[in-house]
Amino acid sequence: YFVKVAWAWTFWLLLPFITITTYQFAESKFLYGPTKSILAVLRRLSALLVGTVIWYVCTSLFMYIENLTGMCSTSGELSEPRRLYTTKQECHQDNGIWNGFDISGHCFLLSYCALMIVEEVAVLEGLSIDQNSKLHVVINGLFVSLCFLTMIWVFMFLCTAVYFHDFSQKLLGVLIGLSAWYGTYRFWYLKPFSPGLPLPNIPLSSKKHSYSR
């Protein structure tokens, strides 16, 4: 159940992290006023809305494909009339086993969430905060929580890779997760009309990952 709501865990930790770091960066580095800083925060937070849409569309598509390609196997008596099942849920209600092409939603979501967290925490490379401030403690706490969450996602990804799904189902799930990350952070977010990259809008590949403490 923890991994099935992986996006919720990722969303609720990234929400305050993006809000605080973006506002702080816009105000201290770019010298934005309160109004412009808030607009910068809202723009960056729209990345979470994009992630929510990607999560919903992809998982719904996976379920549709599984229902479209599947058949139900039940242990009913031979004399009983054979029932036609159209969905996995109907099959499970009669204690049946649904055999369909089940693209690994776990591989898709865990890879996408982990990459998104890594992209967003990279903003700390250019953020300098007084060590004695409460804000420094809050950001550090969120950073550690996100790192711990990423470790959990990687561990659960390995468990899924070892114990669940066929190879093709896992591979397709990972490729879709990588495509979602690449299409946003490496392509769309570089454009003017997008949520944009984490301030100061430098791609992760060019950062040194040296968090100034």
Domain residues for 12?
Answer: 2-76+83-196
Nearest in space to 108 (alpha carbons), one of 162, 49, 57 = 57
The per-residue pLDDT for 199 is 76
Per the domain annotation, does 202 fall within a domain? no
Per the domain annotation, does 146 fall within a domain? yes
The per-residue pLDDT for 212 is 42
Per the domain annotation, does 211 fall within a domain? no
95 has a pLDDT exceeding 90: no
Positive/negative CA dihedral, 112, 39, 211, 12:
negative
Per the domain annotation, does 171 fall within a domain? yes
The per-residue pLDDT for 78 is 43
Domain count within the chain: 1
Tokens at residue 1, please?
Answer: 């159940």
Average pLDDT over residues 34-53: 91
96 has a pLDDT exceeding 90: no
164 has a pLDDT exceeding 80: yes
Active site annotation includes 92: no
The H or E element that residue 50 is part of is helix 34-69
Span of 14-18, 156-160, 180-184 with lowest mean pLDDT: 156-160
Active site annotation includes 165: yes
Q: State how far the Cα of 52 lies from the Cα of 130, in Å rounded to an integer.
A: 34
Which is higher by pLDDT, 20 or 133? 20
The per-residue pLDDT for 161 is 87
Q: State how far the Cα of 46 lies from the Cα of 29, in Å rounded to an integer.
A: 21
Nearest in space to 180 (alpha carbons), one of 114, 122, 103 = 114
Q: State how far the Cα of 142 lies from the Cα of 139, in Å rounded to an integer.
A: 5
Which is higher by pLDDT, 4 or 18? 18
205 has a pLDDT exceeding 70: no
| 121 within 8 A of 147, measured Cβ to Cβ | yes
Q: State pLDDT tens for residues 118-140.
A: 999 988 877 777 666 788 888 88
- Mean pLDDT score across all residues of the chain: 83
Q: Per the residue annotation, which of 92, 106, 136, 209 is the catalytic one?
A: 106
At residue 39, φ and ψ (nearest 5 deg) are: -65, -40
The pTM score is: 0.83
57 has a pLDDT exceeding 60: yes
The per-residue pLDDT for 202 is 54
72 has a pLDDT exceeding 80: no
Per the domain annotation, does 18 fall within a domain? yes
Per the domain annotation, does 172 fall within a domain? yes
Per the domain annotation, does 161 fall within a domain? yes
The per-residue pLDDT for 142 is 94
Per the domain annotation, does 205 fall within a domain? no
